[in-house]
Amino acid sequence: MGWKGKNYMIEIKEAKLNDFDFYYDLKCEESSVYWGGFSQIPQRNKLYEFWESVTEKSAATGRTIYIMYVNKLPVGYAQVIEENGRLVLSIGISENSRGNGYGNSIIKNVINLRGGKYTYYCYIREDNFASIKSFEKNGFKKT
């Protein structure tokens, strides 16, 4: 599914196995390691096993990952986890793509893809002001 902006094309696609390198590179960025609460860069083989299980069996795991492309280049991801009748949403935007409103855009577009009938939740570190702002712009309330 795609949306056209002033000078760019945004596409949100369900992640495939061949999107792993982008996802891994994003997860290894210094800020991603920090915001994710990890003490070190994730091990590639363990993250690949997770990625493989999600992309090949998303219905069985209750987890779907979407990749956001701007002008056909990946800039971020959104992960949706079905949990007790609600959807838990998390996002990640690559460091060199932050500050362009992509976080806000990916949240809005994933909710549109999944439908508004769900209650959405997310967990954000209290000092991650950019993510808090993006979720608040999309109607999320702090609890």
Residues 37-54: tens digit of each pLDDT: 556 777 888 889 988 988
Computed over every residue of the chain, the mean pLDDT equals 82
d(CA 124, CA 90) in angstroms, rounded, equals 8
pTM score, two decimals?
Answer: 0.80
Percent of the chain with pLDDT over 70: 87
d(CA 42, CA 38) in angstroms, rounded, equals 8
